[in-house]
Amino acid sequence: MDMNQDTTRVLYAAILKLLRPLVRMALKRGVSFKTFASLLKWVYYDVARENFTIEGRKQTHSRISVITGLTRKEVKRLSELDPPMSREQREKYNRAARVVSGWRREAGCLDEQGRPVAIPISGEGATFETLVKKFSGDMPPRAVLDELIRVGALQLEPDNRVRLVHEAFTPTADEAIKFHILGTDVNLLISTIENNIDKNGHEPYFQRKVYYDNLPDEVLADFRKMSRRQAQQLLNDLDSYLAINDRDVNPGIKGTGRNVAGVGIYYFEKSFDEED
């Protein structure tokens, strides 16, 4: 369906707004326009290959060329490249996040108020080793421990116990994992918005924000604390429900299909400008 001129103009403006912080991060880290453009070409090729097929027909280089505007020669070249993905970072992040999440649910790892406490690395009862075995598959506990300490998620206590630095897995010292989170979280947010724009017979996904544009500096610190506290409590409640129904955590769960579902919350703050 062709878009009218007004819709096209708004779409282009939205794309420019999306690209601005992405390009800013790329330039800070020495990513040239040539490199950025080559990544964009690969994404155009891969999305056309995966999402714009005709039922019952094999996707061809010629059709991808027509859809994307790339030459057939360029499409063929892109089809021969290895995907520029970071499966290692994804696996490290997922395993570490599962251990931290399990720590916040296991009865032996919590105090009377339900807050995570320091636990022994090994031994009897609730230990770091038992958490890793339960929530991180066949990964060696020492490797997971070293990784969580390295990224700033855990603190080693003098009595050979370990303590969570934050209630959630927040890798403060690992830029590579932070960029993995950037790609994953922004992808999910845009997918939600895409669903709500296209509809396609689906129920709209929940998408809301609280937004005021004339706040004094003095309000911001209190609002940061309030939003962090209340958002974390909501996420803890949702995490408990999802963990009970996830086959990796609870192998006895029955049902069909394999789906990803969750809720993401983010805080934003910046000085006002007319573009806002």
Please give the pLDDT value at position 139: 82
d(CA 93, CA 179): 11
d(CA 89, CA 181): 10
Please give the pLDDT value at position 89: 67
Please give the pLDDT value at position 177: 79
Please give the pLDDT value at position 49: 95
Please give the pLDDT value at position 95: 82
CB 34 within 8 A of CB 45: no
DSSP string, 115-141: -B--EESSSSSS-HHHHHHHHSTT--H
Joined together, the tokens standing for residue 185 give 């979280």
Please give the pLDDT value at position 5: 86
> How many residues in total does the chain contain?
276
pLDDT along the chain (276 residues), means of 10: 80 94 94 94 95 92 96 95 72 82 89 90 92 85 88 88 84 78 90 88 88 95 95 91 88 93 94 76
d(CA 71, CA 83): 19
CA end-to-end span of the chain: 30
The model's pTM: 0.76
